[in-house]
Amino acid sequence: MCGIFGIITNQDINIGSIALEAIRKLEYRGYDSCGMVSIENTDLQILKDSGKIDEIHEKLHFDTLNGSIALAHTRWATHGPPTKDNSHPHTDCTGEIAVVHNGIIENFIELKKELISKGHSFKSETDTEIVPHLIEEKLKEGYDFKEAVVEALKKCEGAYALSVCYAKEPNSIIVARKESPLIVGMEEGKTSYCASDIPALLQYTRNCFILEDNEMAILKAGEIEFFDIENSLKKITKQPKHINWDIDAAEKNGYEHFMLKEIFEEPDALRKTLKTSDEEIELFARKLIKADHIYITAAGTSFYASLAGKYIITRFLGKYIQEIECSEFQNKLTGALEKNTVIIAISQSGETVDTIEAIRWAKEVQKDITILAITNIIGSSITRYSDHSIITRAGPEIGVAATKTYVTQVLSLALIALKIAGLRKKLAPVELDKYYDALKSIPEIIEIFLKNNLESIKEIVQNLEKNANYFFLARGISIATAKEGGLKLKEVACRFIEGYSAAHAKHGPISLVREGFPIIFIAPPDKSYERLVGNVMEFKARGGHIISLVVDNDETISEMSDITIRIPQPSTKYYQYFSPITFIPALQLLAYYAALDHNLDPDKPLNLAKTVTVH
Ligand code: F6R
């Protein structure tokens, strides 16, 4: 939900081009408008408009911004539609203070009224615009720049990662954070940067400082100071986190889209995640074994990873795990959170506000609780509000639709499940080894699949009716795959889909089926297979156009299907819990090619942003 970037330097470099490159890397956070400000000869130079970054750059030429300081922003509209006036940066009445912001100032209506009554005039409908005006007001009251920002922030309720520059003080950028992600980094003595996310800084530094809530930093060229806003602006020392992601991982590297590249990176992401330290996995496993109550919570794709993971863990843990979508967590559990509870919270970004709110609330109302997080982002908010975290090794995921992070989340949960099986002696050692061998062979299965199936999936997509709606049906663990595969098609190709239990679909959804209605059945050879055969027949009998996902040597469901996609996976029981990982790339590719077929950009689905930091 919006990306911000800032740079201050004493080097002879084109800050406009650097800021442009940075917001391109943050575009996945919002792509309905963008803008930049620099300070030239103590005047703010602002370029901004609605539209995609490259279109705006073509019109306004961001690389014409010179000087030694710039702020930049890419927007996902919340308050006010995507228009030029609502684009960031926003300024005060004097035109000397500029702000870029990610988050929401919740009490902005009341603050705006107060500021209007004091004579301020506003140009936009945004919540952000109150910030430069508040700072202006505080400067008028006699505070210096730093104090004025702090005093202004004291009046703001809500979430912010913001970056401020002031024409009269062109040697510093002030940044502050509350609940929205913000990192800073520098090339010592030369240039300092701030950004919403790591990919924007990776090119310049691998040592990033992650701001915590209520921290502020003052950036000067190649120099950064940190302050605690809540503790009378006391100076603090922070240690940088070393980021070992490949720079290339945040580039398209010859692929047409990040989504396709990231699907192709799944084998590597899985191999790296297979190397998660055994101690971390065991710690999670032991906490779950000891717990009396277990919940698993997340949003969107991460929630579907939870569905698959809870299924695998339950098999070996012998305890019920309740999944609850993060946005309903508090509603469902108010008055019911008991002692000795473990909550597994999953979020690739680690910043989804509803997931964070769920775990923060849980900790507040029940002290005897352990929060275990699975995230892809080191130092993200979720890691701070959790007792223990596992960091998946997917590397940067830029495509808005989650792909490689999903498979690594399910893999992490599968590793915990197998660890539990070992600790609880639920499987003989030989059997357990075979499950581990199966898990370790998954990257290769996906590699073979990707190598041999691109053309056939493209062809399937080309032959599908363009405006069709779809059912994605499955039983057992594959319901997670049906829902996640369906979500991908919905997001990137804008098709209406229903991802549902094949058994339950008879209790209503089947009434929609007519001649040619496309139904995608997820049919790995597990315990649900035989009953799924019956479900396929029911839908076929009503004219359904059956597309099935089966393993290589499948005979029954493939015979009944109009189209078959075969996953090169052995049909032994050792793979039965892992099909959510091996089957999903096929559906991700289907969604990807369907988006292209509809002339849609799969990396930037309509109305979506990768990190959802609003309720
Ligand atoms: C779907 C997608 C979203 C996210 C959801 C949660 O492709 O990306 O549904 O899965 O917004 O995000 P995280 O995992 O960052 O909490």
Q: Is 409 in the pocket of ligand 1 (CB under 6 A)?
A: no
Looking at the predicted structure, is the pLDDT value of residue 613 above 80?
no
Q: How far apart are the CA of 92 and the centre of ligand 1, in A?
A: 35
- The DSSP secondary structure of 343-388, one letter per residue, reads EEEEESSS--HHHHHHHHHHHHH-SSEEEEEEESSTT-HHHHSSSE
Residues annotated catalytic, as ranges: 2, 610
Q: What is the pLDDT of residues 178-187, one digit of tens each?
A: 988 999 999 9
For the chain, what percent of residues have pLDDT higher than 90?
A: 89
Which has more pLDDT, 537 or 232? Answer: 537
C-alpha span between 261 and 404 (Å, rounded): 10
Looking at the predicted structure, is the pLDDT value of residue 563 above 80?
yes
Looking at the predicted structure, is the pLDDT value of residue 439 above 90?
yes
Q: How confident is the model at residue 327 (pLDDT cuts 50, 70, 90)?
A: very high
Atom of ligand 1 minimally distant from the CA of 348: 14
* Distances in whole angstroms, Cα of residue 147 to Cα of each of 90, 111, 232, 233, 545: 20, 19, 10, 9, 66
Q: How far apart are the CA of 600 and the centre of ligand 1, in A?
A: 19
Q: Is 302 in the pocket of ligand 1 (CB under 6 A)?
A: yes
The CATH T-level fold of domain 253-440 is: Rossmann fold (3.40.50)
Edge-to-edge order in the sheet of strand 90-91? 90-91, 97-105, 158-166, 173-178, 215-220, 223-228, 234-236
pTM: 0.86
Res 162: pLDDT: 96
Q: What is the pLDDT of residues 113-163, one digit of tens each?
A: 999 999 999 999 999 999 999 999 999 999 999 999 999 999 999 999 999
CB atoms within 10 A of CB 85: 17
Looking at the predicted structure, is the pLDDT value of residue 476 above 90?
yes
Question: With respect to CATH, is domain 3-244 assigned 3.60.20.10?
Answer: yes
Q: How confident is the model at residue 68 (pLDDT cuts 50, 70, 90)?
A: very high
Looking at the predicted structure, is the pLDDT value of residue 610 above 80?
no
Instruction: Delimit the domains of the chain by residue range.
Output: 3-244, 253-440, 454-602
Q: Tokens 């908010």 label which residue?
A: 381
Q: Is 402 in the pocket of ligand 1 (CB under 6 A)?
A: yes
Please provide the average confidence, as pLDDT, over all residues in the chain. Answer: 95
* Distances in whole angstroms, Cα of residue 369 to Cα of each of 55, 324, 344, 346, 381: 49, 16, 11, 16, 18
Q: Which two tokens stand for residue 488?
A: 């991908």
Res 467: pLDDT: 80
Q: How far apart are the CA of 324 and the centre of ligand 1, in A?
A: 15
Res 329: pLDDT: 98
Q: Is 491 in the pocket of ligand 1 (CB under 6 A)?
A: yes
Could you tell me how many residues make up the chain?
615
CATH architecture for the domain at 454-602: 3-Layer(aba) Sandwich (3.40)
Query: What residue's CA is closest to ligand 1, atom 10?
Result: 301
Query: What residue's CA is closest to ligand 1, atom 13?
Result: 347
Q: Is 305 in the pocket of ligand 1 (CB under 6 A)?
A: no
Q: How confident is the model at residue 31 (pLDDT cuts 50, 70, 90)?
A: confident
CB atoms within 10 A of CB 591: 28
Contact 567, 551 (CB under 8 A): yes
Q: Is 352 in the pocket of ligand 1 (CB under 6 A)?
A: yes
Q: Is 594 in the pocket of ligand 1 (CB under 6 A)?
A: no
CB atoms within 10 A of CB 150: 20
Res 247: pLDDT: 72
Res 249: pLDDT: 74
Contact 88, 128 (CB under 8 A): yes
Query: What residue's CA is closest to ligand 1, atom 5?
Result: 300
Atom of ligand 1 minimally distant from the CA of 409: 14
Decide whether 253-440 matches 454-602 in CATH topology: yes
Res 479: pLDDT: 98
Q: How far apart are the CA of 403 and the centre of ligand 1, in A?
A: 10
Q: What is the pLDDT of residues 69-105, one digit of tens each?
A: 999 999 988 899 999 999 999 999 999 999 999 999 9
Pocket probe for ligand 1: among 1, 296, 325, 347, the residue whose CB has the most ligand atoms within 8 Å is 347
Q: How far apart are the CA of 301 and the centre of ligand 1, in A?
A: 5
